[in-house]
Structure 1
Amino acid sequence: MRKIETDIVVCGGGPAGINAALAAGRSGARTLLIERYGFLGGMSTAALVYPWMTFHTMDGKQVIAGTAQEIVDRLMAEGASPGHVRDTVGFVKTITPYDPEVYKVLIIDMLREAGVKVLLHSFMDEVQTRDGLIETVRLATKSGKYEISAKQFIDATGDADLSYLSGAPCLQGRDSDNLTQPMTMKFRMRGVDLAKVKRYMIEHPDEFYKKTPFDELEELPLSGVLGYFKHWKEADLPINRDQVLFFTGPGPDEVLVNTTRVQGLDGTELEDLTEGEVQGRKQVRMVADFMARCLPGFENASISSVGAQIGIRESRRIDGCYSLQVQDVVDGRAFDDCIARSGYPIDIHDPSGKGVQAAWVQGDGAYDIPYRCLLPKRIDNLLVAGRCISTTHEALATTRLTPSCMATGQAAGTAAAIAWEQGISPGKIDIGLLQERLIHNGALLRSGQTV
């Protein structure tokens, strides 16, 4: 067995883990990022989750920045993102398109600049603990077993794998039946006539989402579409959904389709995941065929790519020191231990029905995510970032979105670095110091703070 000793280990190379590793590495701590795929990006790359939603409130005020914004800026500098653009679906104010292939390369460059060591093709399958501390994680690899020891650990796996294997208490799904939001197999189509799509929207507004900014659609670049209600209903496909959703790009004739829906399966169970992949890919062919046959603008469209894996909206999450509540989100609640903010609404894809439940943030349009949501119970040298932080099922429907995951990742990496520097547990660090460092590195933690 090969052994590696380091200061901070980040498990999971998605947006949360990337931002956590950047923050930890830039602090001077020896930082190791572990990822099971042969590339980084998590759901953003493996499952084609696109675009990123959202860095802003509904009135356009930016509330997420820091390393997340730095990544966007560097993508823009390479011509791989237009930056934050208006959401023509109308569900949020802005979305952030990006080229996932450029993103895969860019983030490796950024991590190496920060001194972070990356291990790809590494599947974490065992965790050793003693007296409430993680001592090592073990990896299964092509070259045999690896054992990694560190002082601080960050779970950015999305599924709370590290937390679960270490014995930290976890929850899953809604309280009534533990069902989670459905999985979606996302895919891209090329050969789409977007000008024709836009004309059809303007001429048939009743067939599209009511929040679509129809009055501005002539001038706005088309970034997303939700609707085709009549066409979808007439097709009567065996998919438990009530509309078509897609986003434009990265190519000029390309869209990312977010319309398949696989329900009733557990994203942490091997056989369920297997069945989800099978059902999801069958639905991709079904939806793509329907769109090419029936939707104006898609007459010459065809599938150009499909996710490497099915997209997981919800699986395990930790039962942490505080669980963010739906009312915290809707009320735009402020917390003294705020380490990130978000303006994304509650967005629950029904675990068993057709629809989506939505609720928008009141007040100044943003809510705080408290540091305690990143702290699991029972394990003292572990922090959690991204989709599996401590929330209710309903509140997870906003914290799971990529920019929020990026923000909690930066916070977790910064907190782990402070704990490592001071030789204490993350639960004992000075919150004021953590907030000061986050703000110094571009995070937006206070109402009225600007980029």
Structure 2
Amino acid sequence: MSTQPPQLLETDIVICGGGPAGINAALAAGRSGAKTLLIERYGFLGGMSTIALVYPWMTFHTESGKQVIAGIAQEIIDRMQAEGASPGHVRDTVGFVNTITPYDPEVYKILVFDMLREAGVTVLLHSFVDDVTVDGDQIASLSITTKSGRITIRAKQFIDASGDADLAHLSGAPCLQGRDGDKLTQPMTMKFRMRGVDLGRVKQYMIDHPDEFYKKTPVDELPHLPLSGVLGFYKHWKAANLPINRDQILFFTGPGEDEVLVNTTRVQGLDGTNVADLTEAEVLGRKQVRMVADFMIRQLPGFERASLSSVGTQIGIRESRRIDGQYVLQAEDVISGRRFDDCIARSGYPIDIHDPSGKGVTAAWVQGDGAYDIPYRCLLPKQITNLLVAGRCISTSHEALATTRLTPSCMATGQAAGTAAGLAVKHHCQPGDMAVCELQSELRKGGALLSSEETVKQRQA
């Protein structure tokens, strides 16, 4: 029989948020030998990947196909593949990026729990952080509300992987939100799955009507590629004239053979950190799901026998609060493929801004070798010295967030934050005071790729 947790817990490292960034941070911290606690408000792990059905993961590679994200993220993919829960990295038949990574979210939920236990990490689900005590420039403790009542947690190091910079905000660290000027954020999307889709018919329609799909769709290769994603059906969408501020249908295939994940609804002008706005977004998102699913069944070839099979537990949030950190990553850094001496992760995903108020998507691809660096300073907030940030709420501009928010990038910054926290505990110092070269060395030992010369093959050798 399990026992109630004490009302005061003490640990080395506490991580808020059990999404991909928080999971990878906890794995890295636990493997360092530090006593680690992961807090998650839902009854399962996975964050937006499981709560909001964000699928597939994109991307681990550059536009040319070179892998730039590995480490713990790749280890998870390898273990998912071993269980038949992911095909690994496959070509993106939308054509927006080189590869995407489908996965079974139900297997992911269990697999990462097993991995966390292997790493000695303690997990508390159904736990919501609602208060932070600050002593000078350090977090002294935080409080969580649970079914067992309120619990106070003291730790040496804290990691905010909440996605919304909740811990940073509560601690008083400076935060930013939205684009310059009107502060509007990228829209929210309620994602949903459909079963009974004839994907062979969908593919043939794409081959026969290439002008109705995204200009970068590899139509000539479709006969020889498994269909992984579709962006278009422009004619059908325009004719439907649904009250959704978007100009096309986007969906990805799998994990079932007759299954798709639809990423088309769009809820704009609401704040994901405001409870009234978030409530309205949930209602609007679910109404849009019904509209879009009904339209697809009535109008799209291949969907004649399809049905709505599942909807996200909550609406998906692309952008909310982010920290104003020691360095704010800029769009120019991303597009130019800028290198930083304190690089702790790289990414090859382009800038991908879903318009906060209009219909379109603004995209800009990374130049040079196709990847840019994420500096360690983007994980370090101002004013609070024993706090690290990982995932969607690291320090970036509104435009740069449109690439760092993607799951593989969040996984990579999570591993970096967890590794840094572990080193801080080991050396009895604060994260901003450690030698970055030692952090980079530990990340490389953990499989991270931090330079254009490093490859997965070299890592495995």
TM-score range, shorter chain: over 0.9
**Structure 2 residue 125 is matched with structure 1 residue 137:** no
**Partner of 2:234 in structure 1?**
229
1:359 matched to 2:364? The reply is: yes
- Which residue, out of 54, 59, 73, partners 1:54? 59
Matches of 1:349 and 1:420, distance apart in 2: 39
Cross-structure match for 2:31:
26
Indicate yes or no: 2:131 matched with 1:126.
yes
Amino acid at match of 2:114: D
2:299 to 289, 294, 303: 294
Counterpart of 1:348 in structure 2 is 353
SS at 1:299 equivalent: coil
Structure 1: how far apart are the matches of 2:453 and 2:359? 38
Q: What letter is aligned with 1:269?
A: N
Matched with 1:419 is 424
- 1:190 maps to 195
Please give the secondary structure, in 1, of the residue aligned with 2:223. coil
Identify which of 327, 334, 359 aligns with 2:339: 334
Partners of 2:408 and 2:321 lie apart in 1 by 20
Residue 393 of structure 2 aligns with which residue? 388
**Equivalent of 1:270 in 275, 287, 297:** 275
- Partner residue of 2:3? none
Q: Which structure 2 segments of 5+ residues have no match? A: 1-5, 457-461
Looking at structure 1, the residues matched to 260 and 254 of structure 2 have their Cα atoms a distance apart, in angstroms, of 5
Decide which of 215, 219, 229 is 2:224's aligned counterpart: 219
Q: d(CA) in 2 for partners of 1:104 and 1:24? A: 19
Is the aligned partner of 1:200 residue 2:210?
no
Q: Which residue of 2 aligns with 1:258?
A: 263
Distance in 1 between residues matched to 2:429 and 2:447, nearest whole Å: 25
**1:92 matches 2:89:** no
Aligned residue in 2 for 1:318: 323
What one-letter code is carried by the residue in structure 2 that aligns with 1:343? G
Query: What is the aligned partner in structure 1 of residue 459 from structure 2?
Result: none
Q: When the two structures are superposed, what TM-score results if normalisation uses the length of structure 1? A: 1.00
Could you report, residue by residue, the CA deviation over 1:258-280 in whole angstroms, capped at 9, with x for unpaired residues? 00000000000000000000000
Q: Could you list the per-position Cα deviations for residues 90-149 of structure 1 after superposition, in whole angstroms to 9, with x for gaps in the alignment?
A: 000000000000000000000000000000000000000001100111000011000000
Matched, 1:112 2:148: no
By how many angstroms is 1:176 displaced? Answer: 1.4
Q: 1:6 and 2:8 equivalent?
A: no
Who is 1:284 aligned against? 289
Aligned to 2:20: 15
CA distance in 2, matches of 1:88, 1:305: 24
TM-score, scaled relative to structure 2: 0.98
Aligned pairs, number: 451
Task: Indicate whether 1:147 and 2:152 are aligned.
Answer: yes
User: Aligned equivalents of 2:79 and 2:142: distance in 1?
Assistant: 33
Partner Cα distance (1:310, 1:55) in 2: 24
Partner residue in 1 for 2:48: 43
Deviation at 1:234, TM superposition (A): 0.1
What's the % identity of the aligned pairs? 78
CA distance in 1, matches of 2:144, 2:127: 6
Structure 2 CA distance for aligned equivalents of residues 30 and 449 of structure 1 = 31
CA distance in 1, matches of 2:400, 2:306: 37
Q: Deviations over 1:392-431 (max 9, x none)?
A: 0000000000000000000000000111111111000110
- 1:377 has 2:412 as partner: no
Q: Say which SS state the counterpart of residue 217 (structure 1) adopts.
A: helix
CA distance in 2, matches of 1:302, 1:273: 27
Is the counterpart of residue 67 in structure 1 residue 68 in structure 2?
no
Q: Secondary structure at the match of 1:283?
A: helix
- CA distance in 2 between counterparts of 1:346 and 1:239 reads 23
1:39-88: CA deviations, max 9, x gaps?
00000000000000000000000000000000000000000000000000
Partner Cα separation in structure 1 for residue 181 and residue 231 of structure 2: 30
Matched, 1:156 2:170: no
Tell me the alpha carbon deviations over residues 198-239 of structure 1, each in whole angstroms, 9 at most, x when there is no partner: 000000000000000011000000000000000000000000
Equivalent-residue separation in structure 1 for 2:142 and 2:57 (angstroms) = 31
Structure 1: which 4+ aligned runs deviate by more than 3 Å? none
Distance in 2 (CA, whole Å) between partners of 1:266 and 1:114 is 36
Q: State the shift of 1:448 in Å.
A: 1.8
Q: CA RMSD in A?
A: 0.5
For 1:256, give the aligned amino acid.
Answer: L
| 3-state SS in 2 of match to 1:266 | coil
Tell me if 1:80 matches 2:82: no
Q: Paired residue for 2:445?
A: 440
Equivalent residue of 2:310, what SS? strand
Cα distance in 2, alignment partners of residues 303 and 141 from structure 1: 33
Give me the whole-angstrom Cα distance separating, in 2, the residues matched to 1:446 and 1:182: 33
State the AA in 2 paired with 1:406: M
Q: Return the alpha-carbon distance in structure 1 between the equivalents of residues 154 and 44 of structure 2.
A: 23
